[in-house]
Amino acid sequence: LTIADGRANSPEYGGGGIYVSGGAVLNLDRCAVRNSKAYGIYDNYTGYGGGLLVNASRANITNTTFSGNWAQVSGGGVADWSGAVISISHSTIVTNTGLHTTTGSGGLYLYDGRASIRNTILAGNAGVPITNANYFVESGGRLTTQGYNLSDSAPVTATAT
């Protein structure tokens, strides 16, 4: 399954390609999410998750590629919001962009949620500032590596309090 060219341009929602909320469980296996955009502002969850926004829900992602997605705020590839839990394995998160001046992450953004990654490529993403290119974690979020990941930036492990 390929999800392409999605747009989230609402004052209430983010997730240009896919938006998951309300305690739902999303299972993505052998998919591609590409060239989707999330427009919005910094003070709510609009503008987050160009490819995917998981809000107070769960996502299990396997053998899936997020590429060429764009978020006006953060999480160009994938964004995790309000206690969401994301598991990513054997996947690729590349060439995504996040634009916020302090929290803009191109690849993966975690806000008060948890994500674990294993055997995943997290590289070639663009963030503002550049140190956030592949991932940014804040407000109690937690990113855990389960090994065998490839990144072109700092080691993939982070916790924010």
Q: What's the pLDDT tens digit per position in 83-133?
A: 999 999 999 999 999 998 888 899 999 999 999 999 999 999 999 877 779
pLDDT at 159 over 90: no
Model pLDDT, residue 101: 80
State pLDDT tens for residues 9-59. 877 778 999 999 999 999 999 999 999 999 987 666 689 999 999 999 999
- Show Cβ contacts of residue 111 under 8 Å, excluding neighbours closer than 6 positions: 48, 79, 80, 81, 82, 138, 139, 141
CA distances 139 to 20, 103, 122, 123, Å, are 20, 11, 22, 23
Confidence of residue 149 (pLDDT cuts 50, 70, 90): very high
As a whole number, the mean pLDDT across the chain is 91
d(CA 119, CA 139): 26
The alpha carbon of residue 26 and the mean position of all alpha carbons in its chain are separated, in whole angstroms, by 14
Cis peptide before 11 (omega within 30 of 0): no
CA–CA separation, 83 and 43 (whole Å): 17
Q: What is the radius of gyration, based on Cα positions, of the chain?
A: 13
